[in-house]
Chains A and B, each alone.
Chain A
Amino acid sequence: MPSVNEATLIEINGLTKKFGRFTAVDNVSFRVAKGEVLGFLGPNGAGKSTTMRMLAGFMIPTAGTARICGHDVQTDGVAARRLLGFLPEGAPTYPEMSVTGFLAFCAKIRGFSGRDLENRIQTAIDRTQLQGVRLQPVETLSKGFKRRVGLAQALLHDPPVLVLDEPTDGLDPNQKFEVRKLIREMAPDKAIVISTHILEEVDAVCTRAIIIAGGRVVADATPAELERRHPSGKLDDVFRQLTLPGQKSKDAA
């Protein structure tokens, strides 16, 4: 066994997921250390959400392992999930519950009670700016608010590992700014993985980016390194070059 750096909080080894004959995720391996914000990029259907679902222990991998703070998400799932804050794709929440009711449910499941519970909910609401809607049923909220309720749920227990599937999707530019600021603030103490379609977000918050296409990792570098891979120096062009086979020759023609 190679010695694992103590600060490695997420460890994925050879993760593979097949649906029938279709391989959605193909032998993906990476590690994320404390203090890193990993941007997970790729076209739709590249396997981003599938990888995150396997990392969260929701989807069972066909092969490979995922560990959170040393706990295997399949064999030691409850311990792994205790240390994980997960925002699933689409930020699902129970529509009939109020914002505080929903957060209280998640906090109780995570073992908080009494004054501690109240404080945790209050902190999560403050951090995601949900003060104005705290007593509203989630189903009456706009898309941006729903997303932030999902985010609040993931932050509630101040976990060392955050896995956020498109945390800024559906937010307006001001809200995006706030969420990015929040992610940067939390970054030093945590290992954070975010998936996104917005490439500017990578520059704004990520210390490292992984580009995945067709289920495989095609790039794993810092945003600055990635940008140098295309003459234009733009992440958009690098992304196109890596994820669209044959694009290079078309650009040249």
Chain B
Amino acid sequence: MRAISIIAGRELAAYFATPVATVFIVIFLVLQGSMTFNLGNFFDRGQADLSPFFTFIPWVFLLLVPAITMRLWAEERRQGTIELLLTLPITQGQAVVGKFLAAWAFCAIALALTFPFIITVNMLGEPDNGVIAAGYLGALLVAGAFLAIGSAASAVTRNQVIAFVLAVALCFVFAVASYPLVTEFLSRNTPILAEVARRIAVLDRYQAFTRGIISARDLVFFATFIGFFLFLNTVLVDQRKTD
């Protein structure tokens, strides 16, 4: 635990040591804000809730989360620091989890900075703050799922651009796995996979949270999803660290 928190602390500080953190947070807030207000008709809807906000946030994450994770392992390998990190008395699993938690904490900070939306709806009306809290939890879990994918993608290559593109593509696939586009195609060819696709779709699970429903099944889904990709990440680091 101690090793994980030290690695996470170093990694989180590394985001803020460079302009990456500022650029990311500013772009995240501008993008999320303009989508919510313009595309989501935040004011014209005349309803005191954050549903336009929560509609767009997974798509903003889809684009921006891979930008956070692309450096996690690719950068270590390019700079050779992976050799230093993995010859410290820690396990590879601790390094993987520490890095993931740092990226997740960073996302949580960015998400927390959207608090003016909550203040706005509370001033304009009487929203159900329980639903908003559930929505935020869902958004954080979606971020975690995407981060786990992105972190694993970063372990595949020493090139950050490849890590980014790979992560966006994979996140997209898992986001829309339950969309008719995917499932109809699959059910025509391999019906079993269509069923699988429906169950692993990240956005389907997220929808329940935005309606204020937190179910144990969905929590277990996200925990398993993140756990699986972190395990994959550890295997990839082990296999490819010396390439």
Q: B193 an interface residue at 8 Å Cβ cutoff?
A: no
Q: Do residues A86 and B89 form an inter-chain contact, with CB atoms below 8 A?
A: no
15 contacts between A and B (CB under 8 A): A57-B87, A58-B83, A58-B87, A58-B242, A59-B242, A78-B89, A88-B80, A92-B79, A93-B81, A94-B14, A95-B79, A96-B14, A109-B6, A109-B7, A111-B2
Known: A59-B242, A92-B81, A93-B81. A109 touches B88 (CB 8 A): yes
> Considering only CB atoms, which chain B residue lies closest to A86 in the complex?
B87
Q: Mark A103-118, 1 if CB is under 8 A from B, else 0.
A: 0011011110000000
Residues on A with C-beta less than 8 A from B3 are 109
A150 to B88, CA, bound (A): 13
Interface size class of A (residues with CB under 8 A): 20 to 34
Given contacts A58-B241, A95-B79, A109-B7, contact A78 B14 (CB under 8 A): no
Question: Which residues of A are in contact with B by a Cβ distance under 8 Å?
Answer: 53, 56-60, 77-79, 81-82, 84, 86, 88-90, 92-97, 105-106, 108-111, 150, 153
**CB pair B17 A90 closer than 8 Å:** no
Which residue of chain A has the shortest Cβ distance to B2 in the bound complex?
A: A111
Task: Identify whether the interface residues of B are mostly helix, strand, loop, or mixed.
Answer: helix
- B189 at the binding interface (Cβ < 8 Å): no
A153 in contact with B89 given A97-B17, A109-B3 (CB within 8 Å): no
Cβ-neighbour of B89 out of A94, A105, A110 (below 8 A): A110
B18 touches A56 (CB 8 A): no
Contact A88 B87 (CB under 8 A): yes
Q: Which of A81, A94, A97, A105 contacts B87 (CB 8 A)?
A: A81
B contact residues around A93 at 8 Å (CB): 81, 84
Give the Cβ gap from B236 to chain A, nearest Cβ, in Å: 14
Contacts of B10 in A (CB 8 A): 94, 97, 105
Q: How far is the CA of A88 from the CA of B81 in the complex (A)?
A: 9
A53 to B87, CA, bound (A): 9
- Give every chain B residue within 8 A of A77 (Cβ-Cβ): 91
A178, B169: Cα distance in complex, Å = 52
Shortest Cβ distance from A22 into chain B, in angstroms? 14
| A96 and B81 contact, CB distance less than 8 A | no
Q: Find A78's partner among B17, B81, B91 (CB 8 Å cutoff).
A: B91
Q: Which residue of B lies closest to A110 (CB)?
A: B89
Residues of B whose CB lies within 8 Å of any CB of A are 2-3, 6-7, 10, 14, 17-18, 79-81, 83-84, 86-91, 238, 241-242
Other than the given A60-B238, A97-B14, 12 more pairs (CB < 8 A) read: A53-B83, A57-B87, A58-B83, A58-B86, A58-B242, A79-B89, A88-B80, A95-B79, A96-B14, A96-B17, A108-B6, A109-B89
Residues in B neighbouring A81, C-beta threshold 8 A: 87-89
Q: B152 to nearest A CB, angstroms?
A: 20
Residues from chain B with a CB closer than 8 A to the CB of A88 are 80, 83-84, 87
| Closest Cβ–Cβ distance, residue B130 to chain A (whole Å) | 40
Residues of A within 8 A of B17 (CB): 96-97
Q: From known contacts A58-B241, A59-B242, A105-B6, infer whether A92 and B83 are also in contact, taking CB-CB under 8 Å.
A: yes
CB neighbours of A82 from chain B (8 A): 89
Please state if B241 and A109 are interface contacts (CB–CB under 8 Å).
Answer: no
The residue on B at minimum CB distance from A150 is B84
B-chain residues with CB within 8 Å of residue A110 when the two chains form the complex: 88-89
A108 partner residues in chain B, CB cutoff 8 A:
6
Q: How far is the CA of A95 from the CA of B84 in the complex (A)?
A: 13
| Cα distance A82–B89 in the bound complex, in angstroms | 5
Selected contact of A96 from candidates B18, B86, B238, CB within 8 Å:
B18
- Kindly state the separation between the CA atoms of A204 and B17 in the bound complex, as whole angstroms: 41
Inter-chain contacts of B90 with A (CB < 8 A): 78, 109
**B contact residues around A89 at 8 Å (CB):** 80, 83
A72 to chain B, nearest CB (A): 14
Given contacts A88-B80, A96-B17, whether A56 and B87 have CB atoms under 8 Å apart is yes
B-chain residues with CB within 8 Å of residue A150 when the two chains form the complex: 84
Q: What is the bound-complex CA distance between A93 and B81, given in angstroms? A: 6
Q: Smallest Cβ distance from B112 to chain A, in angstroms?
A: 24
